[in-house]
Amino acid sequence: MTRGALLAAVGLGLAGLFVEPVPAAVPDQPTARLDPRKVIEQSERAIGREIGNYRLTDSTGAPVPLRNYRGKPLVISLIYTACSSVCPPTTQHLIDAVKEAGRVFGYDGFNVLTVGFDARNDSPGRMAQFASIQGIKFNNWRLASADAATIEALLHDLGFSYVSVAGGFDHVTQTTIVDRAGKVFRHVYGEDFPLPMFIEPMKDVVYGTASSFSMAGIFDRVKFICTVYDPGAGRYRIDYGLAFGSVIAAFSLLIFGGLLYREWFRTGRV
């Protein structure tokens, strides 16, 4: 999906992107709100930005240097543990998406990191509680938090914005896909995004858009081409018939070109 198309799609459903309903503001004390379009534009400007090597702490208290995630695609989900209305269903939807990605690519082909951006309250213990309640039980999925300065720097790299409001935070629901080199590749917005909006960019970063000319690289390209979405089943499948048809078409063109060249050569010598 192009950036323009993405912004247009976001414009149709901005009302559903904010995670926590805000109590009615007192007339004399208006609540600051984010401008959704400006927030999305700022988020999109982070595409291609390299994420710094920040040191987070996971839900067990173990250090999480982000450089350890280099070499594999990384999915970053941003939540805060006090969120009660949208962060939980957003995480449940991401669990379903990760299950599908694991089935298609293999769970060892990518990692997932849920980051609590409320530095004051998102302690390792609360992140562990959030994981337990949501049922996050994947070997490639960790939950982490950090001090305020680290969180601020990370959110800047991700292009993520939020403001404090009565009862929570005002922000856009954002899931970020980071490539093998640690650069922001794509943002997926909303709490119940369509599965292809997540899997398609994952295909790019898992299989690579410029695989090396080797057997492994060629096989990745074949899988990239043949992994297609079946809307009837609501899941992805590998259709090697697409690759077979492409080979037959290429071979036919090669034969046809050879025949044309032979006729041209024969006619030129008469």
pLDDT tens string 144-161: 999 999 999 999 999 999
CATH of 3-193, one of 2.60.120.260, 3.40.30.10, 3.90.230.10, 3.40.50.620: 3.40.30.10
Residue 229 has what pLDDT? Answer: 64
Biggest CA pair distance of the chain? 95
Residue 216 has pLDDT above 80, yes or no: no
- In this predicted model, which residue has the larger pLDDT, 42 or 247? 42
Using the CB atoms, write b or e for 119-141: b if 16+ within 10 Å.
beebbbebbbebbeebebeeebb
Domain spans, the chain = 3-193
Residue 203 has what pLDDT? Answer: 92
Q: Which residues pair with 115 in a beta bridge?
A: 78, 144
pLDDT in tens, 56-102: 999 999 999 999 999 999 999 999 999 988 899 999 999 999 999 99
Distance between CA atoms of residues 212 and 241, nearest Å = 23
Residue 133 has what pLDDT? Answer: 97
Residue 217 has pLDDT above 80, yes or no: no
pLDDT averaged over every residue in the chain: 80
Distance between CA atoms of residues 116 and 27, nearest Å = 31
Residue 19 has what pLDDT? Answer: 43
End-to-end CA distance of the chain: give it in Å, rounded: 54
Helix (H, G, I), strand (E, B) or coil at 210: coil
Quote the pTM value. 0.74
Residue 261 has what pLDDT? Answer: 60
- In this predicted model, which residue has the larger pLDDT, 171 or 239? 171
Pairing of strands 174-178, 74-79: antiparallel
Tell me, what amino acid is at 217? G
Residue 191 has what pLDDT? Answer: 92
Distance between CA atoms of residues 28 and 88, nearest Å = 33
Residue 213 has pLDDT above 60, yes or no: no
